[in-house]
Structure 1
């Protein structure tokens, strides 16, 4: 995809549209803000492709379905979109939802480019039909563990809700920290009130607490409790899943939102394409775009290249993943097969550990890069 804006003289699109199904969490209990950013990126990408002439003169039509973080709803949406004749599926933020959608898409022979979900086991078995832009959880969360060790933390507590995603993250952290002298202490956020979590931090002499819990609750209540308890006020609070990325976090927590490191999938400096898209996304969202918005745009960049180069039938799209070489907003995108990951994977998107600057909570500080 070009690093310059589409030429104003591009031929208008004509003929039947090429339909792409988009799975996005837009209502609760889904993470609505993440869904809004993902959809903004997808729609910007589609607009630019169509302004540049579409796919051999045919416009892309984005057919959006709200998953609301519900795997069953996502599966029903995949069935509906398959019947409507979409050439491919795109999107989804929540890992457990994306996993359900990927399994159904694979069974139906429908190619799926997952934008944002990171769970390693996106499918139970290897498939040629599914590809992913977000880094696998095992890759990004190991980088986060390296950051913790480098910052001098060896006794690390996790407050975790029950879920496949959080359990996977806990296992990755434990396995990576143990050889480096780190101890992981598991605390059940489902049974311990925030004040009891503070007591446990004292009892275990933990110097860091990682929030592997839902947003806004119980994450916000836990942050407030830790920040206001003098015994543990100096404890590092971390959120590897990225809750502090979005403005709602800062709105709810105010000054207490700062200095909570999280994973963000952006380079330290955007290139010309990334900078241009960043500006366009900021105008659409009326706020700073998150890395999730970039993932949405890059999803369309890849699909448009595939549809132009290999055709719009589903089999051709699914066969094209190993031949992708597309300039995205965060670097060149290529897919490969990685051990333990059953889908075609971009190896690797840039990974940062960042936090909100206490002196200026609207600004992010880069603490560590992978």
Structure 2
């Protein structure tokens, strides 16, 4: 596996470190930019923990493995990290990969705090080993559906690729919109070229198109094609999964990438901790940090507090989930059991529907609050 070197400040001096395994997509076909932001948040928090004395005087060490958006690779990484003696797992962005990791961690009795994946069913059965910071997909995407209805959209097309995650998103939208008079029209992007999407939108009379497709492709090509279709000047293009959050989106699409609403898990205003961490992340990344970077930081903040109070024992870490009370960058973090969610869930961080301002591409406008 391609593994980045462990930064010097995170290496144990005497072999007595407390080790946390980090699962991060760092190479294609993984969403590399999301992985880079996630890792920046994880690493910043580890550095701050160690600068403050570590875990009872022991260095906190991050052992990073690149999942590359591959579930099998993630399963192998979980096995390897368990064998290396990590006390817990952290991270992952891609939902299907996080599910594979969660199932394996549950089987091995290895605590896993998932940073950023939203798929509701990360495990098949209730588990005491897995907890999650990011909102469940059903929570966020229902908020997005309400935004669409409030904006006057009832005939909504989804340009979808085959995936458990995209299929789950389409089902959530359909189930939430149908009782309220909304219709979801599925366009199968495994059989449809991006240049043909406009014809389908016209044929079905859709007023909104949602990108349930990978980044950068085919999402970028779909946006370019639809933006240039003179038959669709008023069409709303949306991306509930958050593709426009990252700077690469604006770099690839310019003005075409503005005005595309997506889900963002940040409060309207950060508190003192969030502002301080945001400034440090900006310096580390060389660009504005995404909500994914804050998720990474909060993951380590939670695990460090658990390790300080419970010690570096896997079973005791898992037992701590219902007792967590940590001030995160985006508010107080506590875990609870949520209906139809099989793991310990932070319910909920702030959820907003935002877009990039067409007049200032580096600014975001809040369109709807959940």
TM-score (norm 1): 0.96
Contact 1:13 1:53 in 2 (8 A): no
Match of 1:3 in 2: none
SS in 2 for 1:113: strand
Whole-angstrom CA distance in 1 between matches of 2:360 and 2:347: 33
Q: Which runs of 4+ in 1 moved over 6 A?
A: 12-15
Whole-angstrom CA distance in 2 between matches of 1:13 and 1:184: 57
Whole-angstrom CA distance in 2 between matches of 1:239 and 1:368: 14
SS in 2 for 1:240: coil
Whole-angstrom CA distance in 2 between matches of 1:223 and 1:15: 51
Whole-angstrom CA distance in 2 between matches of 1:32 and 1:193: 24
Match of 1:215 in 2: 215
Whole-angstrom CA distance in 1 between matches of 2:279 and 2:254: 26
Match of 2:261 in 1: 261
SS in 1 for 2:200: helix
Cα deviations across residues 142-165 of structure 1 (Å, max 9, x unaligned)?
000010000010111001000000
Q: How does 1:210-289 map to 2 (within 5 A)?
A: 210-289=210-289
Match of 2:7 in 1: none
Cα deviations across residues 13-64 of structure 1 (Å, max 9, x unaligned)?
9771100000000000000000000000000000001111111001100000
Whole-angstrom CA distance in 1 between matches of 2:150 and 2:14: 56
Match of 2:133 in 1: 133
Matched, 1:45 2:45: yes
SS in 2 for 1:185: strand
Match of 2:63 in 1: 63
Whole-angstrom CA distance in 1 between matches of 2:43 and 2:23: 13
CA apart distance, 1:303: 0.1
Q: Give the stretch that moved more between structures: 25-34 or 12-21.
A: 12-21
Match of 1:354 in 2: 354
Query: What's the RMSD between the two structures over aligned residues?
Result: 1.1
SS in 2 for 1:56: coil
Whole-angstrom CA distance in 2 between matches of 1:110 and 1:14: 24
- Structure 1, gaps ≥5 residues long: 1-11
Match of 1:182 in 2: 182
Contact 1:13 1:54 in 2 (8 A): no
Contact 1:114 1:133 in 2 (8 A): yes
Whole-angstrom CA distance in 2 between matches of 1:195 and 1:321: 48
SS in 2 for 1:275: helix
Cα deviations across residues 173-218 of structure 1 (Å, max 9, x unaligned)?
0001111111111111111112321011011111000000011011
CA apart distance, 1:74: 0.4
- Structure 2, gaps ≥5 residues long: 1-11
SS in 1 for 2:153: coil
Q: Give the stretch that moved more between structures: 12-21 or 282-291.
A: 12-21
Matched, 1:117 2:107: no
Whole-angstrom CA distance in 1 between matches of 2:314 and 2:154: 49
Match of 1:325 in 2: 325
Match of 1:199 in 2: 199
Contact 1:211 1:237 in 2 (8 A): yes
Match of 1:4 in 2: none
Whole-angstrom CA distance in 1 between matches of 2:113 and 2:184: 34
Shift in alpha-carbon separation, 1:277–1:313, aligned structure 2, 3 A: same
Cα deviations across residues 67-126 of structure 1 (Å, max 9, x unaligned)?
000000000000000000000000000000000000111111100000000000000111
Match of 2:145 in 1: 145
Whole-angstrom CA distance in 1 between matches of 2:99 and 2:66: 16
Whole-angstrom CA distance in 2 between matches of 1:15 and 1:249: 42
Whole-angstrom CA distance in 2 between matches of 1:309 and 1:217: 45
CA apart distance, 1:233: 2.6
CA apart distance, 1:318: 0.6
Whole-angstrom CA distance in 2 between matches of 1:201 and 1:321: 46
SS in 1 for 2:157: strand
